[in-house]
């Protein structure tokens, strides 16, 4: 499965992506904002993760879709965005993403998330998405709010970051389809303006 946008291809991983993954994820500014990524991060870690993701892509009843984000102009993987913990009984899932620091603030995650959220609500037909961000992670919180997510609460000193060993409090955000449909047209306009 592959989703194509103007600048990006969202697709399952290939083993040959490992170097791009090491480049992106070995940066503590990236892994320090994620929960389960070790630091330092090397080839073995990347290949292990790629194989885990591939196993999930091969499952018949998928509860996880992790897309690698390939930048068309460079033929390089610059990040990943995932749909996780799909629960069809409750009709919910969680999401998470990262982008290689060199490529931050170019609108790439916004460009990737638009078709991903469409896919969740219109193809998987789920009713709600949840996402979390460390209280220190202003970029992620701002991104979630921009995508229409609403703050639902705070888990106090709830999670230990594998890369730093630090315990974080985190905010929980939720998004319903109606809330997504409300912000989507403006985000599309904004992205089109940016890509002109």
Ligand X SMILES: CC(C)(COP(=O)(O)OP(=O)(O)OC[C@H]1O[C@@H](n2cnc3c(N)ncnc32)[C@H](O)[C@@H]1OP(=O)(O)O)[C@@H](O)C(=O)NCCC(=O)NCCS
Residues making contact with ligand X (CB under 6 A): 30, 33-34, 96-99, 104-110, 133, 137-140, 142-143, 146
Sheet with 65-71, edge to edge strand ranges: 3-4, 8-11, 65-71, 76-87, 92-99, 128-134, 167-176, 150-160
3-class DSSP state of 12: coil
Q: Which is nearer to ligand X, 88 or 155 (CB)?
A: 155
Q: Smallest gap, in angstroms, from Cβ of residue 50 to ligand X?
A: 18
Which positions ≥6 away from 92 have C-beta within 8 Å? Answer: 85, 86, 126, 127, 128, 129, 130
Q: Which is nearer to ligand X, 86 or 114 (CB)?
A: 114
3-class DSSP state of 102: helix
Q: Smallest gap, in angstroms, from Cβ of residue 173 to ligand X?
A: 9
Q: Which is nearer to ligand X, 26 or 140 (CB)?
A: 140
Q: Smallest gap, in angstroms, from Cβ of residue 73 to ligand X?
A: 15
Q: Smallest gap, in angstroms, from Cβ of residue 58 to ligand X?
A: 26
Q: Which is nearer to ligand X, 42 or 107 (CB)?
A: 107
CA distance 89 to 108: 32
């Amino acid at each position: 499965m592959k989703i194509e946008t103007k600048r990006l291809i969202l697709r399952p991983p290939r083993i040959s992506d490992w170097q791009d993954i090491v480049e992106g994820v070995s940066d503590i500014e990236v892994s320090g904002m994620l929960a389960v990524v070790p630091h330092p991060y090397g080839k073995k870690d990347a290949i292990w993760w790629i194989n885990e993701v591939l196993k999930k892509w091969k499952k018949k009843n998928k509860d996880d879709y992790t897309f690698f984000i390939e930048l068309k102009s460079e033929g390089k993987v610059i990040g990943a965005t995932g749909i996780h913990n799909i629960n069809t009984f409750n009709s919910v899932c969680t999401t998470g993403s990262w982008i290689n620091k060199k490529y931050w603030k170019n609108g790439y995650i916004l460009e990737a998330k638009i078709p991903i959220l469409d896919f969740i609500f219109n193809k998987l037909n789920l009713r709600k998405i949840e996402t979390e961000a460390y209280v220190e992670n202003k970029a992620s919180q701002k991104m979630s709010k921009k995508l229409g997510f609403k703050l639902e609460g705070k888990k106090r000193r709830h999670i230990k970051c594998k890369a730093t060993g630090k315990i974080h409090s985190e905010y929980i955000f939720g998004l319903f389809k109606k809330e997504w449909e409300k912000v989507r047209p403006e985000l599309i306009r904004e992205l089109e303006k940016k890509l002109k």
